[in-house]
Structure 1
Amino acid sequence: MSDVTTTDLYEVTMALSYLREGMRTPATFSLFVRDLPPGRGFLVAAGLEPALDFLARYRVEREDVQEFAAALHRPPEDLEPLLGLAFGGEVRAVPEGHVVLAGEPLLEVTAPLPQAQLVETYLLNQLCHQTAVASKAARCVLAAAGRPVVDFSLRRTHGPWAGLQAARLGAMAGFAATSNVAAAGALGFPASGTMAHSYVEAFPSEEQAFRAFARTHPGPVTFLVDTYDTEAGVMAAARVLAEIRRGPGCAIRLDSGDLGDLARRARTLLDAAGLPDVRIVASGGLDEYAVAELVHNGAPIDVYAVGTKVGVAADAPYLDAAYKLVEYGGSPVMKLSSAKVTAPGRKQVFRRPGQPDVIGLWDEDPPDSAQRLLRTVMRDGRRTAPSDRLEYARARCAHDIAALPAPARRIHRPEPWRPVVSQALEDLTSRVRGETERRFRPERRGLSGSGGQTDRKLSSSLREPH
């Protein structure tokens, strides 16, 4: 399956019509999240790097045309105008790892209209999924309050590719390791793993299982101790660990039950056996909410392994994101649909220390001491710089989250940090709204009541970021 044909059919029908109508004028589309999901005080931008890889290699080949034609039940020659179309536009985007807020563009594309239209679905797919998972992972790191977090999500993610993405996004958010061998190799990131209950069950006793495992693996080992009776498992692990004397790095893992209570009992048993350096790893359906509760209650857990709920961003698995036309042929445009008003023009986000972000126009002067968040990352269909490095994205994530107000970082009932709109963008929005109303709603001119009510509703929608 080609990445080119990984798109919604209406992108193809629109692009074909644009080409036949000679509509190749540059257009700008803005990709943004309208509102943060419930339970989120911020988002972490992610998915840009694979999106840029996609755009850099984008070209409609003969087999793509044939697949489009088959989907439309038309002869391939009808789709010939699409043949050879490649992405040659400009991309301005927020680098991965930065915190982003509702209404702020994650990415803007300026390219000939058919090109910009055809890439919409893939870009939304990449940025929305990965931003959702990265944001969930970052909250797990916050909840762990300095304790290492490990990715165990591969077996429950929605496909192997999603598992690779989850491992990468966890690394970006501050995780310490992943169980995913392929991801660890691809990312140069530590791999981490222990054993399954089935391994313990295959031996006559837990102690024999632990000894066999230790014989095979000469370095630090982690024993899963809750296959039968957890306290008996801890004591069996303690006997083996005391004998093999592997030094620091050894651990036991708890995977079920009341993890806080079991961790306290396990810590007591390990300390009594003279093993204060043996760590306790907890896993089993954890996410930021469970981790935060365990930390708050003082559970003596040293490492948290998170999987299912994080790899699929279970409580907020999608984003209310849009990819909307904001400029065509050099003129700003906007959508006026009820509850889905879009602000016109190319945007920039200005980040100010200790103050709300400002969503403004691309070419306006920044407020004092403000950082421009969107950067030009692609021009004429080519990257403007080498691929971003994971460690840079990780550093941005840590920096931006630390700079957020405490209420936005809260795990329970966070208060979203909201941007404001610059005066220049407000003025442009007001002007374009008026021009658009006059062009497309002429029947409302002169009507008392309804017109004013519409203007108030539009103005309220546009100013929500305040």
Structure 2
Amino acid sequence: MAVGGVTPTPSRGRGGALLTDLYQLTMLKAYWEHGMHETAVFELFVRRLPPNRNFLLAAGLAHALDYLEDLRFEPDELEWLGGQPGFPPAFVDWLADLRFTGDVDAMPEGTVFFPEEPLLRVTAPLPEAQLVETRLISLLNYSSLIASKAIRFRLAAPKARLVDFGLRRAHGSEAGLFAARAAYLAGFDGTATALAGQRWGIPTFGTMAHSFIQAHDSEADAFVRFARAHPENAVLPIDTYDTEAGASKVVEIAADLRAEGIEIGAVRLDSGDLAAHARRVRRMLDEGGFPGVRIFASGSLDEHRVARLADVPIDGFGVGTALTVSADEPALDSVYKLQEYAGRPRRKRSEGKATWPGRKQVFRTCERGRLARDVLGLEDEALSGEAMLVPVARAGARLRLDPPLEEIRDRVRTSLETLPAELRGLESARTPFPVEPSPGVREMAREVDRRSSGGDVGEGFAATVRPG
């Protein structure tokens, strides 16, 4: 299966079926014992925006579909499970044949979304739909979290080159790999993660570590050797010892390298007062006759620091920790809730965590080229606006190949163009974007409440969970 326009390696990086919470398996056993195999509908959504976020960006759908298509219990997993208390051989044998056979509707990757809006809907026999909860949340939560963080860097630096440097700081290798993809689809220009280049065709960038320079007796010799080894990508870190002295050495060797047909592409700043160093280095390079040598900066950068460097002569930024762990807000409040079972709408009514029942759709309206409102309606409700969830899998299989990452990046750019200006800032907007439950959703909530408790509490529920 092509992913992002590039044929992936045989292993798609999925975890096994046991990469889940134990309670998924204990529930499956109870469903199995009582013959509860009718169709269930679950929806995955984010309850609320993190502080200083005005919107979120959908990502990770390709990973989720990989997981669903590959879902099966391997022999060693079944053997382990059979040795645990409460899982009899007949149940373990049943699990051996379990596959995901359901339908999936979802917002395409790169779509802007808001709290309470289904990012993904699963319609499948109850045991299948239940089992996949943990892994789906993990995959969509993380990729959407990082894409939503990455877009803040792009908003902070609309014209700069942005490169993901975060693999070594990520909480696990899978996280670092998925972060490279999420950041790229959100508008980064590339990544330092080599496997992301091989797997998805993401542009890769790499220079050298300070250790390369330290391994030489002369900083200038290190620069020359690296430039000759990589004449197409001569990017030189100049702050191993003294930033301005390093820049001076670059000017000294650049003319001789040019005579060999080698152009120094950029110098990298990674420490100290980046603004002050960048201004001095830019002046030295220009006066030395090398105005085409770019300046690239890295080192503990977040989007606010990048924004403060907007007027400084820095051409690009390498971003690591702040991106791949979303340092200021390291998680989304993502949930996956049952909305219908056996043809009847269901909803949770827990205090502060109530849900809207039924199969829902997001109907989006734009006015004068800007997002105006979203309505959370029933799937079959006749409402105006663009329907944001689209069919992506039927009977357990993708309906189409994953779109190329460039197509997703175009969707992100288009989405950003429709965002009202007040939602594009790095701080919380005074007025959250309006997302309103439709009359049909409100009435269904009232009906479910009457059926379950004999009382009409739908309006009270609506008042407590209004998005924003």
TM-score by length of 1: 0.92
Unaligned runs of 5+ in 2: 1-13
Q: CA deviation at 1:189?
A: 2.0
1:429 aligns with 2:429: no
1:357 is aligned to 374
Q: Is the 1:179–1:192 contact (alpha carbons within 8 Å) kept by the matching residues of 2?
A: yes
Match of 2:275 among 260, 271, 274: 260
2:389 is aligned to 374
Distance 1:174-1:78 versus aligned 2 partners, 3 A rule: closer
Distance 1:15 1:365 in 2: 36
Match of 1:383 among 398, 410, 422: 398
Distance 2:340 2:120 in 1: 14
* SS of 1:226 mapped into structure 2: coil
1:293 is aligned to 308
Match of 2:161 among 123, 128, 148: 148
2:425 is aligned to 410
Deviations 1:10-40 (A, max 9, x none): 1011111111101111000010000011121
Distance 2:169 2:353 in 1: 34
Deviations 1:394-414 (A, max 9, x none): 111111122111121101334
The residue type equivalent to 1:357 in the other structure is D
Residue pairs, 1:295-310, within 5 angstroms:
295=310, 298-310=311-323
* SS of 2:119 mapped into structure 1: strand
Match of 1:347 among 355, 360, 366: 360
Distance 1:191-1:249 versus aligned 2 partners, 3 A rule: farther
1:458 is aligned to 461
Q: Is the 1:129–1:317 contact (alpha carbons within 8 Å) kept by the matching residues of 2?
A: no
Q: CA deviation at 1:417?
A: 2.4
Q: Is the 2:234–2:263 contact (alpha carbons within 8 Å) kept by the matching residues of 1?
A: no
2:139 is aligned to 126
1:441 is aligned to none
Distance 1:23 1:74 in 2: 17
Distance 1:249-1:112 versus aligned 2 partners, 3 A rule: farther
Match of 2:195 among 182, 187, 190: 182
Residue pairs, 1:48-59, within 5 angstroms:
48-59=61-72
Q: Is the 2:16–2:72 contact (alpha carbons within 8 Å) kept by the matching residues of 1?
A: no
Distance 2:172 2:61 in 1: 20
Q: CA deviation at 1:57?
A: 1.9
Percent identity of paired positions between Structure 1 and Structure 2: 44
The residue type equivalent to 1:365 in the other structure is A
The residue type equivalent to 1:317 in the other structure is P
Deviates more, 1:41-50 or 1:404-413: 404-413
The residue type equivalent to 1:259 in the other structure is L
Distance 1:414-1:288 versus aligned 2 partners, 3 A rule: farther
1:237 aligns with 2:250: yes
* SS of 1:164 mapped into structure 2: helix
Q: CA deviation at 1:66?
A: 2.4
Distance 1:29 1:248 in 2: 56
Q: CA deviation at 1:80?
A: 3.2
Q: Is the 1:366–1:372 contact (alpha carbons within 8 Å) kept by the matching residues of 2?
A: no
Match of 1:136 among 149, 154, 157: 149
Residues matched between the structures, number: 448
2:45 is aligned to 32
The residue type equivalent to 1:160 in the other structure is S
Q: Is the 1:65–1:76 contact (alpha carbons within 8 Å) kept by the matching residues of 2?
A: no
Unaligned runs of 5+ in 1: 439-444, 446-450
Distance 1:366 1:237 in 2: 63
The residue type equivalent to 2:374 in the other structure is D
1:327 aligns with 2:330: no
* SS of 1:142 mapped into structure 2: helix
Q: Is the 2:161–2:316 contact (alpha carbons within 8 Å) kept by the matching residues of 1?
A: yes
Distance 1:109 1:248 in 2: 54
Match of 1:89 among 83, 102, 108: 102
Match of 1:42 among 55, 59, 76: 55
Q: CA deviation at 1:150?
A: 0.7
Q: CA deviation at 1:459?
A: 2.8
Distance 1:203 1:50 in 2: 44
* SS of 1:357 mapped into structure 2: strand
Distance 2:440 2:354 in 1: 17
Distance 1:357 1:247 in 2: 54
CA RMSD of aligned residues (A): 1.9
2:234 is aligned to 221
Distance 2:434 2:285 in 1: 47
TM-score by length of 2: 0.91
